[in-house]
Amino acid sequence: MTDKRYFFAIHYVPAKADCGLLAGRCISTLHGYLLNHAVTQIGVAFPCWSNKSIGRTIAFVSEHSSHLTQFRERTYFQTMQGDGLFELSPVLEVPDDCAEVRFIRNQNLAKLFVGERRRRLLRSKRRVAERGELFVPKAPAINQEIAPFHCALIQSASNAQSYVLHIQKQSCDSEDSTNTYSRYGLASPNSYRGSVPELSSSISTLFPDSLYLKR
């Protein structure tokens, strides 16, 4: 990734903030913005991600500082900042020495949850019955190794439905980095391979209490 990039970050101020919920609301805000600005590419980063938490910060990355400046002014962000619940950084240039990472929306992880497995099982049973065939359920996979992931609850701006994004972090080479993201600012296992800078060092400077951000 050789072109200049820019970012701004949001820190969730409350010590006991529901990070997954707030991350989801920020991503929902991005989703709504991108629906109205189809040519814009903005990626999402979680600079304080750890195996235990998605972190109390979220960042938005783009090659166009003007897009980020406009997006930063969304009513939700300004209201939360005015209420003392969010702290917003200015739009800044990404440092040259940042490593590249991907935050991938992996919906296959939904299959790990009982409710989702039950829903898929009932759907398969209904489809088999419609074909007049005998339903033979498949045994779930066992002892499957799963990389750490976190969940963000979002609301779609297109249909107002709420659902969960299952997100994983993956390192990548700078030669393999792109700025192609989904309408949630995330990469995917196949179609979208957008990467973002690893911004943890920048966040520790922007938000002095970053020692506690991964809790």
- Give 10-residue mean pLDDT values along the chain (215 residues): 86 93 96 87 95 94 96 97 97 94 88 52 60 60 69 78 89 81 92 93 81 49
Domain segments of the chain as ranges: 6-106+149-212
The span from the CA of 92 to the CA of 101, in Å, is: 19
Domain boundaries 6-106+149-212, CATH class: alpha beta
Structure tokens at 56: 């109390």
Confidence at residue 122, expressed as pLDDT on a 0 to 100 scale = 55
